[in-house]
Chains A and B, each alone.
Chain A
Amino acid sequence: MKPRLNVEICGISFKNPVIAASGTFGFGREYARYVDLNMLGGIAVKGLTLLPRKGNPPPRIAETPSGILNSVGLQNPGIDHFIEQELPQLLKYDTRIIVNINGNTIDEYCRMAEKLRGVPVHFLELNISCPNVKQGGVAFGTDPDLVYDITRSVKAHAGQPVIVKLTPNVTDIKEVAIAAEQGGADGISLINTVLGMAIDVKKRRPVLANIVGGLSGPAIKPIALRMVWEAAQVVSIPIIGMGGITTGEDVVEFLLAGATAVGVGTANLMSPTACIDILNQLEEYMVQNGVGDVKELIGRLETE
């Protein structure tokens, strides 16, 4: 029998727990040529800002062992352009749309949430964890009091459930997760990239023009798993787990650690069909291990 893959977050059902992570999947347009977007649990769109952003100068990417450093710097066409030009093509697909929003100030996040009121997207993802911008971003995500304030403020303006995307660049992820939940978050997603750098020893220069960037890929998976597990111990809102997922078994690990759904990011850069490949592997794992319903895996890590 075909295993059941659907999960639910804030009363909204996902046909499966695999979500294309923000920043690795554009607005879906490019990937639609390679995969049937209808098969995805959800798509978290490229991070948006109130006004268009050019992003950081190149080089914006460096390869490190089992990882990738990026410093794109939130290049995006702005929220208005997204709603008018990009969203209509995305809404043709039967998948959940998560809109990743970024601001320099709390007010900017709120104004973006207002603009999205009544727009037929399913979730807002509050990105308070981008390491590649000078203002806002990760600066919000490392202070539990600010996380509480920003979540509470945006919730007051948002028409959709709000997921708060957390940064791993903190001492205690539990504190931040609790702050998001107390601020009224409907869910949390973690982890964003880990701040890092790479140096070209011949030129004695940083590889990235931005000097530092965000590390992603299998290199950070153990960190991500640990943080998802820690967060799951202290909050009761759903968790979207991400960080270095490249296989179906990686998904199982995150679900066992307490995630209800997962984000697949860097793997999309390795292959445009990654999300679907991973989904197929997840199904294969379930069949082979007699798991009839993916929900049976969520939070079922045994530590005794």
Chain B
Amino acid sequence: MKGGSSEASGSCKGRNSCSSTVMKGTDKCKIVENVMIAPDMYKMAFLSEHIAFNAHPGQFVHIKVPCDNSLLMRRPISIHDVHPQTGVVEIAYKVVGRGTRILSRMNAGQVIDVLGPLGQGFTISRGIKSAFVIGGGCGIAPLKFLARRLKEEGIAVTALLGFREREAVYGLSDFEEFSNRLLVTTDDGSLGRKGLVTQLLEEELKEQLPDVMFTCGPVPMLKVVQRLAREYSVPCQMSLEERMGCGIGGCLVCSCAIRTPNGDFEYKRVCKDGPVFWSREVMLDEATIEC
């Protein structure tokens, strides 16, 4: 990840000397905006200088569900964009259950409890000149921050975004700003090309190969992107989603199967080792057995 890591040094030089490494924990953040941007899809902006200043594209924040103590788990939501000058952090999220429903009803001026920025985001290697950014549905959310960063780095971005239908489309103006080419598909053809974004991706790969691909979206889409990356030998990073616990790598509940060099696999932590992984390592299909 360019720009260094936000992780504090873990070095301890003896008993009682470790308090210097203690990081900022949870943050009470004031909401400045919370609006519906598509059916069941919301964009929230809140204030956190710490997150706005330290976040990298692909990282996430872990938000405590307000107003309902019976929902114990924080909700991991990817960072949509940050504005370090104003301390504003944007998230875009889909309402998928009670927790996100409650979040969607919060208003500007109210406060939420946020932990972050967390996880390993997208790696933007030096020397990269061109990138494909492939997103599907709510998986497009973290790609805005990425596309903006890629543009700032002078990297030519082709954005390929897939939505179910015209009504579900959001964020296109951002990608018009941050990408050199913007290609949109809808499943029903109500906007852009009819079909799946992966069909369009394959056509594009036949024309030109980017230095790298970045993707986030539903698992069936990721599987096709992963196969195409392999077939066309393009390095590809994918952002994964999994039910999470602590969000900081302590509880081992958000695991994903990652191929090991010896042909076996191990369960890595989506929250700490990810959520972004190299697609060649990720095992999305293979039945993983208990051991």
Contacts and interface: CB of A to CB of B under 8 A. Distances in A.
Interface of A: 23-26, 29-38, 46, 53-63, 65-68, 70, 72-73, 75, 89, 92-94, 134, 210, 217-218, 266, 268-273
B73 to A, nearest CB: 5
A56 B290 contact: yes
B248 interface: yes
A34 B257 CA distance: 27
B267 A54 contact: yes
Contact of B26 (A56, A268, A271): A271
Nearest to B113: A271
Contact of A23 (B15, B251, B257): B251
A5 B253 CA distance: 33
B73 A92 contact: no
A23 B253 CA distance: 10
Contacts of B256: 58
Contacts of B192: none
B230 interface: no
Contacts of A31: 248, 250
B72 A66 contact: yes
B25 interface: yes
Contacts of B64: 270-271
Contacts of A270: 64, 72-74
29 contacts: A24-B251, A26-B249, A26-B250, A31-B248, A31-B250, A32-B21, A33-B22, A34-B25, A34-B248, A35-B25, A54-B266, A55-B252, A55-B290, A56-B290, A58-B253, A58-B254, A60-B252, A63-B99, A66-B69, A66-B70, A70-B251, A70-B253, A75-B267, A92-B14, A92-B18, A93-B18, A94-B15, A94-B16, A268-B250
A55 B74 contact: no
B182 to A, nearest CB: 34
Tell me the interface secondary structure of chain A in the complex.
loop
A34 B115 CA distance: 11
Contacts of A218: 72
Contacts of B242: 58-59
Interface of B: 7-8, 10, 12, 14-19, 21-23, 25-26, 64, 69-74, 99, 115, 242-246, 248-257, 265-267, 272, 288-291
Given A34-B25, A270-B72, A59 B243 contact: yes
Contacts of A60: 243, 252-255
A268 B254 CA distance: 15
A210 B251 CA distance: 17
Contacts of A134: 290
A48 to B, nearest CB: 13
Contact of B243 (A61, A65, A272): A61
